[in-house]
Amino acid sequence: MCFAFDARPPDLPADLVRPRMAGGAGAEKLELTSADGTVFSAALAESGDAGGGPGVIILPDVRGLYRFYIELAERFADAGHHAIAIDYFGRTAGTGERDGDWEYMPHVEQTLLSQIQADADAARAALVERTDATSFVTVGFCFGGMQSFLAATSPELMLDGAVGFYGLLAGGRFGMPPVLDHVGETRCPVLGLFGGADQAIPTSDVDTYDRLLEEAGVEHEVVIYPGAPHSFFDRSFAEHEGACSDAWRRVIGFLEKVGAARAA
Question: What residue spans define the domains of the chain?
Answer: 31-263
Apex 48 CA angle, 43 and 51, nearest 5: 105
Q: How confident is the model at residue 50 (pLDDT cuts 50, 70, 90)?
A: low
Alpha carbon distance 245, 223 (integer Å):
13
Give percent of the chain with pLDDT exceeding 70. 96
* pLDDT at residue 25, as a whole number: 59
Architecture of the domain whose range is 31-263: 3-Layer(aba) Sandwich (3.40)
Statement: residue 183 has pLDDT above 70? yes
pLDDT digits (tens, 9 = 90+) for 189-198: 999 999 999 9
Average pLDDT over the chain, rounded to an integer: 93
What is the band of 18 on the pLDDT scale with cuts at 50, 70, 90? confident
How much is the pLDDT for 168?
A: 95
pLDDT surpasses 90 at 26? no
> Tell me, what's the pLDDT at 22?
46
Say yes or no to pLDDT of 3 above 90.
no
What are 148-169's pLDDT values in tens digits?
999 999 999 999 999 999 999 9
Query: What is the mean predicted confidence (pLDDT) over 88-114?
Result: 95
100 Cβ neighbours under 8 A, 6+ residues apart:
5, 6
Q: pLDDT category, 23, cuts 50, 70, 90?
A: very low
The confidence band for 19, taking pLDDT boundaries of 50, 70 and 90, is low
Given a cut of 70, is residue 1 above it in pLDDT?
A: no
Calpha distance 42→63 (Å, rounded): 13
